[in-house]
Structure 1
């Protein structure tokens, strides 16, 4: 019986293939970063989801208030952040503001997460 271990060369094989075909460009990172920052808040992420799931992809701020234990001004602030980040469009009708998801912005996020960028 030998006291030495056999340390013959072993062929190494990568355990996983890359998640994306090419790394994110600096320009794309600059474009997508504000979207991710806006969505990093759980209330804003949920608001975006509620608007997207609402009939016709559009919701009145009055329809969103009851989903949270927050004041209407706080909800409006979060909606404003999502709008300024480019994730939501808004239209004022009478005294109410209606929000709709900007599908182009979500497509950018989906491309990033799906690895097709």
Structure 2
């Protein structure tokens, strides 16, 4: 995973897993790999952000408009936008602007990489 030239978005290096176990169970993580994964885990370690990822991933077409996400929370629109920005900057969500609305989509390969790392089904 590395920062792109465009700014703060991260790019993951795919994790190769053995059939029997995840990388965490097979061998210790290097300091470099641990430092690459931590921003993703930190971004997901908030209940609101974890729910946002879940809602976006489960939305029709795999994307959701910020206007639709606000109704799922008892939070202000600026607070929801802040959480979406954190997820986008961590590289978990992609975003596209259409007119006045911003649409978010989960980068499924990022979630698959995290799942493979910790032993989930990717």
Look at both structures and tell me which one has the larger radius of gyration over its CA atoms.
Answer: 1
- CA offsets, 1:42-86, max 9 Å, x none? 100100100011011100001100000001111000000000000
Query: Per the alignment, in what secondary structure is the counterpart of residue 27 of structure 1?
Result: helix
Q: Give the corresponding residue for 2:37.
A: 32
Q: Give the corresponding residue for 1:21.
A: 26
Distance in structure 1 (CA, Å) of the matches to 2:74 and 2:108:
28
Q: Give the corresponding residue for 1:61.
A: 66
Q: How far is 1:115 from its partner?
A: 7.3
Q: How far is 1:27 from its partner?
A: 2.1
**Root-mean-square deviation (Å):** 1.6
TM-score, normalization: structure 2?
A: 0.75
| Unmatched runs of 5 consecutive residues or more in structure 1 | 1-18
| Unmatched runs of 5 consecutive residues or more in structure 2 | 1-23
- CA offsets, 1:15-42, max 9 Å, x none? xxxx711122222211110001111111
- Runs of 4+ residues deviating >4 angstroms: none
Of 82, 86, 91, 2:91 maps to 86
The number of equivalent residue pairs is 98
Distance in structure 2 (CA, Å) of the matches to 1:73 and 1:47:
14
